[in-house]
Amino acid sequence: MRTLVTGAGGFIVGHLVKTLEQLGHKVIAVDIKPFEDWHQFSEMSEKFVSDLKLLENAILYTKGVEQIFNLAADMGGMGFIENNKAKCMESVLINTHLLQAAKLNSVSKFFFSSSACVYASFHQNKLDIDPLKESDAYPADPEDGYGWEKLFSERMCRHFQDDYGVETRVARYHNVYGPFGTYDGGREKVPAAACRKIIRAIQNKSYELEIWGDGNQLRSFTYITDCIEGTIRLMNSNYSEPLNIGSSEMISINDLYRTIILINNLPLGKFKFKYNMDAPQGVRGRSSNNQECKKVLDWEPSISIKTGIKQTFDWIAKELNY
């Protein structure tokens, strides 16, 4: 099967491309980043550097393909999306033009990677929250910028399926992390940032760790292998509504740091948490309700935070020569 995968230079897509190749797909991999900036680089795929915000490029790379996995977006962790709202919104052009191209070139199936950032903020403004179920995206009040772009693009998928017959699948990812992910530079997410900070603190013999907010924020974090398995299961299903792909295991940011320290047999008592209350903090609590995921896919993410964060820490440690 000829499969177009966009955002191919990114963290999640690097893992997805390898899995699709193992399953026998002929992969056309496209990203706007130069090849040297791709997180992983497969020799088996056809690879192109191109800006898919332009309709002519979307039309070009969808010719002759049978399905599309669209994971291309300008995004990062909370620090990035809170300070780059317009840039995040511009990603709407990628999904819009790919859908138009899919219709024009008769692509049979289209996957869009959405985000837990679509969920209404009033469901996430306290610590004693209920896990987010798919219907909690409405009435709409998503993360400003990035969340609105994702929610709008979900609606585009729905209407292109209803009106034009482009079969669509939409996954709402919840905080995906793991090896080969960004861990510095401003686009990293909490698990990778925490690993980096702890490693640097040890290397510099300075055990103070800056945490954004009070550290009590609750999150669930989804390990990359669970994300990829859920993505492929959803694409192969007959389900066309948005679906959570996320871990239901909740942990506070403080406990995430403590977990990383303890599972690596580091001296917890030496570390001092310094709280930056002026930094971007995101919502107070967010976790994935997987009732619909289990019903639709007969599966849910199962990699524990202890298992996933250890593998992530070990990979980042090698990158930082620790």
Q: Is the confidence at residue 128, as pLDDT, over 90?
A: no
Mean pLDDT on 115-137: 92
pTM of the model: 0.95
pLDDT in tens, 159-212: 999 999 999 999 999 999 999 999 999 899 999 999 999 999 999 999 999 999
pLDDT given for residue 6 in this prediction: 98
Q: Right CATH number for 177-219+250-287+304-319 from 3.30.70.980, 3.90.79.10, 2.30.38.10, 3.90.25.10?
A: 3.90.25.10
What is the overall mean pLDDT for the chain?
A: 96
pLDDT given for residue 115 in this prediction: 96
Phi, then psi, of 240 in degrees rounded to 5: -115, 0
> What percent of the chain lies above the pLDDT cut of 70?
100
Q: Is the confidence at residue 264, as pLDDT, over 90?
A: yes
pLDDT given for residue 118 in this prediction: 97
pLDDT in tens, 24-51: 999 999 999 999 999 998 889 999 999 9
Q: Is the confidence at residue 78, as pLDDT, over 90?
A: no
Q: What is the DSSP letter of 3?
A: E
Q: Is the confidence at residue 79, as pLDDT, over 90?
A: no
pLDDT in tens, 176-188: 999 999 999 989 9
The answer to whether residues 175 and 189 touch, using CB atoms and an 8 Å cutoff, is: yes
| Interacting residues of 23 by C-beta distance below 8 A, sequence separation 6+ | 232
Query: Where do the DSSP E strands lie in the chain?
Result: 2-6, 26-31, 46-49, 67-70, 109-115, 167-173, 176-177, 208-212, 218-220, 222-223, 243-245, 250-252, 272-276
Mean pLDDT on 70-84: 89
Q: Is the confidence at residue 129, as pLDDT, over 90?
A: no
Q: Right CATH number for 2-176+222-245 from 3.30.360.10, 3.10.520.10, 3.40.50.720, 3.30.379.10?
A: 3.40.50.720
The answer to whether residues 313 and 195 touch, using CB atoms and an 8 Å cutoff, is: yes
Q: What is the rounded CA–CA span in Å between residue 162 and residue 156?
A: 10
Would you list the domain boundaries of the chain?
A: 2-176+222-245, 177-219+250-287+304-319
Instruction: Catalytic residue, from 61, 119, 146, 177: name it.
Output: 146
Is 146 a catalytic site residue?
Answer: yes
